[in-house]
Structure 1
Amino acid sequence: MNQGYGAWRTRVQRGVMALLLALAWPGILVPAAAADGGKVLVMGDSLSAAYGLAPQQGWVALTAERLKAEHPGWTVANASISGETTAGGASRIAAELARHKPTVVVIELGANDGLRGLGLEQTRTNLERMVVAAKQSGARVLLLGMRIPPNYGPQYTQGFERNYRELAEKHAVALLPFFLEPIATDRDAFQADNLHPVAEAQPKLRDHVWPALTPLLR
């Protein structure tokens, strides 16, 4: 009987000591998982897939490096595919959300729709499907807007740009109005095809996205 009581008392004393240590040094008993950050999932096209470059040169990889340095524990999953349209992104979003379980979803799609002159309503519907799916999964969303050359006509180009703004307002998600804004008028910032940014331009794109992304890392 006395031995049983002694063992019980020892366990109680150890429990009290552990509690006192936790109160004195809160970090000492925090599980490693509690210190983890989150994950950013990028759904984009060739502009985010580092077309014509080494993968580590692209703005997404550069963003991952900066996250590692400034927000330890955060990671980036790049699910971008060269040539991707909004229809392709909408068809893949559910699987990518299930696979990566992101905290933040960055959507950079639409340029290929515009260059092909695809219907504005369909592009908007596809983007909206992605935004809604991401929000329903519990992720925060950053929509990277695009613009297309004026030779497509004012009605189409203005409607194309308006899609992003109206979707961001409707679904209360973050918007970067024009992803390529820092380099759009600099011919030297693009490869020979005049469509895809060179390696030297990628840090500018990272820095352009960064102020819109960081408020979502909470």
Structure 2
Amino acid sequence: MNTLRMNPLWVFAIALSLAACGAEAPAQEASGAPIEEAFTDGELAIPIMGEEVRILAFGDSLFAGYNLPEADGYPEKLEAALRARGTNVRVIDAGVSGDTSQAGRDRLAFVLEGQSEKPDLFILELGGNDLLRGISPEQTRTNFDAMLATLAEADVPVLIMGMRSPPNYGPEYQADFDAIYGDMAEKFGTALIGFWLEDIYEQPQLFQSDRIHPTAEGIEALVSSTIDDVAAALPQDEG
């Protein structure tokens, strides 16, 4: 059996190397959908209400919108979808192609300090490039622990976007890596999506030719499958 051909997660991991050389870029606010986009046939479908909430989307090329127009990235599409639901939200795109958990750890304080306001929610999406480079799960765990400790100290709520190891690394590596996300969510009391690509990773038509980065349609599907989790993780008004 040709494992590389038969296992979509392994194809996913191998292709991820094609994006592992991205350079860091400053975090930018998602362009978002203007209020006019919430109109249907000239009428406002759902009014955008409440104080603005800010989401900081912190990750790798899967957040950076590799090879897509800026407006088609996950943070941008997430913002538009939440605003279409009536949520007054801004999503800051802090995705950097090629980032490992160590790179994320190294730039986390800088990114947080660069925000004009404390984020209402921090979405943490890293780990794929750790798999690519064969970084030990122990080191990945240490980096996540440090990042989440920093965020807890800053009193910033977190939603972790989990990844999953392909079985080709062996059952011990796979078990150790896959356990990181749930363990960290439990330790720090964060929200968690166990494997945030779950709904598309076996649909090759939703990926670009590199077989790792979602197409614009793939991003739309990811937003659709994760928006409820994101909305649930946002601070709720009391009273």
Q: How far off is 1:62 after superposition?
A: 0.5
Offset from partner CA, 1:155-213 (integer Å, 9 cap, x none)? 11121110101111111110100011011111222111111111111111112221211
Alignment RMSD (CA, Å): 1.5
- Please tell me whether the aligned partners of residues 140 and 173 of structure 1 are also in contact (alpha carbons under 8 angstroms): yes
**Residue 54 (1) aligns with residue 69 (2):** yes
Larger Rg: 1
| CA distance in 1 between partners of 2:216 and 2:94 (Å) | 19
**Residue 43 (1) aligns with residue 58 (2):** yes
Q: Secondary structure at the match of 2:64?
A: coil
Letter in 1 for 2:54: K
| CA distance in 2 between partners of 1:158 and 1:207 (Å) | 28
Q: Which moved more, 1:203-212 or 1:100-109?
A: 203-212
**Residue 66 (1) aligns with residue 81 (2):** yes
1:111 counterpart (117, 128, 131): 128
- Please tell me whether the aligned partners of residues 207 and 214 of structure 2 are also in contact (alpha carbons under 8 angstroms): yes
Q: How far off is 1:71 after superposition?
A: 4.2
Normalised TM-score (structure 1): 0.80
Matches within 5 A, 1:15-30: none
Structure 1 match to 2:24:
none
Matches within 5 A, 1:1-218: 35-100=50-115, 101-217=118-234, 218=236
| CA distance in 1 between partners of 2:167 and 2:210 (Å) | 18
Greater share of strand residues, 1 or 2? 2
Letter in 1 for 2:55: V
Q: Secondary structure at the match of 2:96?
A: coil
Letter in 1 for 2:223: R
Gaps of 5+ in 2: 1-49
- Please tell me whether the aligned partners of residues 82 and 227 of structure 2 are also in contact (alpha carbons under 8 angstroms): no
| CA distance in 1 between partners of 2:146 and 2:219 (Å) | 28
Letter in 2 for 1:52: N
Q: Which moved more, 1:171-180 or 1:91-100?
A: 91-100
Offset from partner CA, 1:95-139 (integer Å, 9 cap, x none)? 211222211000000000011110111101111111121222121
| CA distance in 2 between partners of 1:95 and 1:68 (Å) | 28
Q: Secondary structure at the match of 2:63?
A: coil
Letter in 1 for 2:196: F
Q: Secondary structure at the match of 2:130?
A: helix
Offset from partner CA, 1:40-92 (integer Å, 9 cap, x none)? 00111001111111111122111011222334432110111000110111111
| CA distance in 2 between partners of 1:161 and 1:117 (Å) | 14
| CA distance in 1 between partners of 2:102 and 2:191 (Å) | 21
Normalised TM-score (structure 2): 0.74
**Larger RCO of the pair (alpha carbons < 8 Å, separation 6+):** 2
| CA distance in 2 between partners of 1:127 and 1:71 (Å) | 33
| CA distance in 1 between partners of 2:216 and 2:176 (Å) | 31
Greater share of helix residues, 1 or 2? 1
Q: Give % identity.
A: 38
Q: Which moved more, 1:127-136 or 1:110-119?
A: 127-136
Q: Say how many residue pairs are matched.
A: 185
Q: How far off is 1:215 after superposition?
A: 1.6
